[in-house]
Structure 1
Amino acid sequence: MVRLLLILALVAVVFWVYSIVDCAMQPSTRHRGVSKGAWVLIVVLLPVVGGILWFTAGRIGKRAIAARRAPDDDPEFLRTIGSISDQDERIRRLEEELAQLDAEAEPDSIPDVPGETPSGRATPQQPDDEDDSR
C-alpha cells in the first residue's frame, strides 16, 4: 500500500511540475480566461487540480490557433466592410472631383511666345544689370 501511495505521489509531483513548466512556457496568446501569471499561480497553488484546470480550460490547442484566418479570408470581417457598389460610388465621386480640379487648374490658353500672357499682353521685363548706366 505504501508503494502505491509513493508511486501516486511521484506521478502527482511529475504532473504538477510538468503543468507549471507547460503553463510558464506557453506564449501569452495561447492562454484562455485569465492572464498567464494568474494561470501559473493557479497551477502552483493547486498542485493537481490546477494542472487539470490548466489542461482542460486554460490552454488553447494548436488546432484552435491554426483555425484563425487572415482578414480577407474571414467571413465575419468581410461582412463588416462596405459593399462593392458603395466602393464604386465613392470612386466615381472622387473621379468627378478630380476632373473638376483639373478643369479649374488648366489655363484658358497656353502662350506661344515667351514673355506673353494668355491674353496677348507682354509681361514686364526685369532690367538687366548690364543695362544700368550709372
Structure 2
Amino acid sequence: MGGFLAAIFWVYSIVDCAVQPQTRHRGVSKGIWIAIVALVPVIGGILWFTLGRRRANDDGGAIRIVAPDDDPQFLRSISKSEQDARIRRLEEELARLDDETDDGPASDSTAPDARP
C-alpha cells in the first residue's frame, strides 16, 4: 500500500512540476526540477513542493496590476474636491436611474392596443 501511494505521489509531482509555468519554478529551471522529481521519486517530490514550487500569491517581485480604487498613490493624487464632485455625479446618476425604474413600464390594460 505504501509503495502504491509513493508511486501516486511521484506521478502527481512530475505532472505538477511539468504543467506549472516557468514563472512558478524557484531556484533552477523547469527542466532541472522535472529531472529532480523524476530521478529521486519521493524526496524529489517533497523538495519540489517545499522548495521549488512558487505559490500563486508569491509573485517574486512581479509587477502587480491594481485597480485605481485600490491604489493608494492614485487616491492621494485625487483632490478632495474632485472626489466630492465625482461622488455627487454618481449619486445624481443613481437617483436618475432609480426614478426611471420606479415609474416602471406601462401595464397592458392601459396600452392602446390592449384586447379584452
Q: TM-score under structure 1 normalisation? A: 0.45
- Inter-partner Cα distance in structure 1 for 2:4 and 2:40: 16
Q: What are the within-5 Å matches in structure 2 for residues 66-81 of structure 1?
A: 68-70=62-64
For 1:55, which of 49, 71, 75 is the aligned residue? 49
1:37 and 2:10 are equivalent in the alignment: no
Identity %: 56
For 2:17, which of 1, 15, 23 is the aligned residue? 23
Alpha-carbon RMSD across the aligned residues, in angstroms, is 2.3
Max radius of gyration: which structure? 1
Question: What code does the residue aligned with 1:34 have?
Answer: V
Question: What code does the residue aligned with 2:11 have?
Answer: V
Change (3 A) 1:62 1:9: same
Q: What are the within-5 Å matches in structure 2 for residues 96-111 of structure 1?
A: none
Q: Unmatched 5+ residue regions in structure 2?
A: 67-116
Deviations 1:61-109 (A, max 9, x none): 011139744499xxxxxxxxxxxxxxxxxxxxxxxxxxxxxxxxxxxxx
Question: What code does the residue aligned with 2:8 have?
Answer: V
Q: TM-score under structure 2 normalisation? A: 0.52
Q: Unmatched 5+ residue regions in structure 1?
A: 1-6, 73-134
Task: Give the deviation of 1:23 after TM superposition.
Answer: 0.2
**More helix by proportion, 1 or 2?**
2
Runs ≥4 residues deviating over 6 A: none
Question: What code does the residue aligned with 1:15 have?
Answer: F
Match of 1:12 in 2: 6
Q: How many residues align?
A: 66
Structure with bigger RCO (C-alpha 8 Å, 6+ apart): 2
- Inter-partner Cα distance in structure 2 for 1:57 and 1:44: 16
Task: Give the deviation of 1:34 after TM superposition.
Answer: 0.4
